[in-house]
Amino acid sequence: NAGVTQTPKFQVLKTGQSMTLQCAQDMNHNSMYWYRQDPGMGLRLIYYSASEGTTDKGEVPNGYNVSRLNKREFSLRLESAAPSQTSVYFCASNGRGPPGPQHFGDGTRLSIL
């Protein structure tokens, strides 16, 4: 059982390039999340999707777009990467019903030069 799978694990981009971070979960969870983690800032929510077909902004959505492609997959796109988007990105999911724990992927370490 893979849980939450993120790809790629590492990426280096030049300023202005675009890329999509992929996330898939095999736990039949309804809700999925994208976070970024920066030193001294903790986990900050970029976007989330409460269920298939819906997406909502989190704390720091500027410069990002998301797609909830189906129940399993939730992708994060940087249209024109900026050095300020250098970070570690985590995808997470949790199921419906009682407030269950969030399950995290291994993270994507993204550097923008």
Partner 1 sequence: ILNVEQSPQSLHVQEGDSTNFTCSFPSSNFYALHWYRWETAKSPEALFVMTLNGDEKKKGRISATLNTKEGYSYLYIKGSQPEDSATYLCALGAGNNRKLIWGLGTSLAVNP
| Binding string, residues 40-69; x marks residues near partner 1 by CB under 8 A | xxxxxx--x-x-------x-----------
> Rule CB under 8 A: is residue 100 a binding residue for partner 1?
yes
Q: How far is the CB of 17 from partner 1 (least distance, A)?
A: 25
Tokens of 3: 């849980």
DSSP secondary structure letter of residue 8: -
- As a 3-state breakdown, the chain gives helix, strand, coil percent values, each rounded to 5, of 5, 50, 45
Name the residues that contact partner 1, by CB under 8 A: 31, 33, 40-45, 48, 50, 58, 90, 94, 98-107
